[in-house]
Amino acid sequence: MVLLRSTLFAGWMFLSAVVLGILFLPLLIGPRRAAMAPIRLWARVCLVGLRWIVGLKVEVRGRALAPRGAALVGAKHQGMLDVLVALDLFPDPCIVLKQELMWIPFFGWFAAKVEMIAIDRSSGAQAVRRLTAATARAVAEGRQVFIFPEGTRQAPGAAPAYKPGIAALYREMDLACTPIATNSGRVWPASGLAKYPGTAIYELLPPIPAGLRRAAFMAALEAAIEGASGQL
């Protein structure tokens, strides 16, 4: 039954992307903010499908801590669900994605149009410089820059491996950073087709103030995210 429901949801997710992508294709030649609407709508359609088809619900705790203007957000990453929730939760999210996701038809086209930040993780220091420049543009537009500090999906309970990219953004942007913890990997694993009934919890934590030294910031961020995620 889990495999059947997961397969049906995969079809729902793909077909909704195609249908919405075709319906809203003209927005690709319009302003950026207009093109954000179908992406956010698609995320909500996927979340509805998860609940109806799979029996997977999403609970967001600490919504009052969600920044509305220019902000830096560092989140635990356990699966694609984290991207969908970010699209639904923030008013104008600028999500840092791996470059391969931009090659997906419709999703990649609209993600490029709304200026999500695509990163080639193999390019090292050059990727950090591009990330910093793109983030500066997003912050100047009052957007919420959403980054996964570990750079890739991690299974629940896996040893954390935080990368330096977020520390560079924290220093250069001089912004507070809002951490987000999750247990989403328990119901939507990082790999494979299967998705399981249950509740994926996202918890927004108190922001880490701007101005800390790099080591202190990274220690505070990891302690907050890993501590809260471990309790979920």
Model confidence pLDDT, tens digit, residues 73-132: 999 999 999 999 999 999 899 999 888 878 887 888 899 999 999 887 666 667 778 888
> Residue 122: what pLDDT?
64
> Residue 152: what pLDDT?
82
Domain boundaries, the chain: 2-231
Residue whose pair of structure tokens reads 């090292």 in the numeric block: 124
Task: Calculate mean pLDDT across residues 10-28.
Answer: 94
Distance separating alpha carbons of residues 229 and 122, to the nearest angstrom? 28
Distance separating alpha carbons of residues 213 and 210, to the nearest angstrom? 9
In the sheet with 198-204, reading across from the earlier edge strand, the strands are 56-61, 198-204, 177-182, 71-75, 144-147, 93-98, 117-119
**SS3 state at 70:** coil
Which fold is adopted by the domain 2-231? Answer: Glycerol-3-phosphate (1)-acyltransferase (3.40.1130)
For 21-80, what is each residue's pLDDT tens digit?
999 999 999 899 999 999 999 999 999 999 999 999 999 999 999 998 999 999 999 999
> Residue 125: what pLDDT?
67
